[in-house]
Amino acid sequence: MIRKDIRDCKERNDKVIILWTANTEMFLLPEIGTMDDLETRIQTNIPLPASVLYCIAAIQEGVTYLNGSPQNTFHPAIVKMAEKHGALLAGSDFKSGQTRFKTVMSDFLIGSGLRISSVVSYNHLGNNDGKNLSEDKTFRSKQISKAGVLDDAMAGNQILYPKGNDKIDHEVVIKYVPFVGDSKRALDEYSSQIFLNGTNTISSYNICEDSLLAVPLMYDMIVLGELFTRMQIDGEKLGPILSYLSFFFKAPITNHQEYVINSFSRQRETLVNFLKVAAGILPDDTTLLDFKF
C-alpha cells in the first residue's frame, strides 16, 4: 500500500523525496540480521516500526528517504538494501536548536585547548514531541542521537582526550510541560578543565521555537537532496548514504563509519566546498598562501 502511494505520487510529480518527520519511535534493538530477514518479516506480517516500512518502500521505489527522527531506522540491513536498489538515504534526527549550538560550543572550547569534562543539557517543551518523549522507550532514541554530537570534536584532539581518558559526563534531560507549547526551553552547562586544574563553566539558556527552526532545514535538505540525486563523480552516483547532508542531522550516518563528522564548522566547510567543486569553483583555501601570508 505504501509503495502504491509512492507510485501514485510519482505519476503526478517530476521527482519524489520522502522526508520522515513523524514522532520519535522506540529504539529498535538490532534483532534484524539481513535483508532476507527484513523481507521475511514483511511477507509474514511481523510488526516493524513505521519508519522502517516507509524507508523500505522508498528504497524499493527508488525514492530518496531523509530521516528527520532519532530512532535507528537505518539498520545495516536497510543500508545494504538501499545499495542493492541504488536508492539514497540521509539522516538521522534534525539538528536545529540546542544540539546544533552544542556542536558550535564543542568546536569553540576544544579548539581553544579547553578540555570539556561535563556537559549537562536540560529541556522542557509542551508540544506533541515533548509528550511523546515523556515515554522512556522513545526518550531512549533521542538520548542516543543527542549523545554522539561531542564525539567528533573530542576525537579530533588526542592531547586533551588521550586513549583511555576520552570519556566525559554528558547528560540529557527532557521534560514535558504542556503550557510552553512549541517554545522549547533549553538549558546547557559546559564545564571545562583549565590551567592548574581550574574549572571554567559556561551556562546557556535558549528559548527555541522548535518547529520554526526545523522547517527551513527541511527545505534545505530537500533541495540539496534532490540536487545530489542528479550528481555523479567519475560516473558513480553518490550514495547509498548522502553523507554531505550530515550538516542537518544530530546523528549523521555515512558510507564509511571512519569519517563520520559531527562538528558544526567541519560539516559546513565540507558541504560548502563540495558544492563549490560541483560548480567549478575552487574550494576555500584557508592557508593564506595566495595572500603571501
Residues that are catalytic: 93, 142, 184, 250
* Residue 213 C-beta-side C-alpha neighbours within 13 Å: 18
Angle at 30 between CA 25 and CA 33, to 5 degrees: 130
Residue 267: all three cell numbers together: 560539516
Angle at 112 between CA 156 and CA 243, to 5 degrees: 35
Do residues 124 and 174 touch, judged by C-beta distance below 8 A?
Answer: yes
CA distance 176 to 132: 9
How many other CB atoms are there within 10 angstroms of residue 75's CB atom?
A: 20
Residue 45: all three cell numbers together: 506480517
- Whether the CA torsion 266, 271, 277, 281 is positive or negative: it is negative
Q: Cα–Cα distances in Å, from 131 out to 11, 17, 33, 72, 101?
A: 37, 28, 32, 20, 23
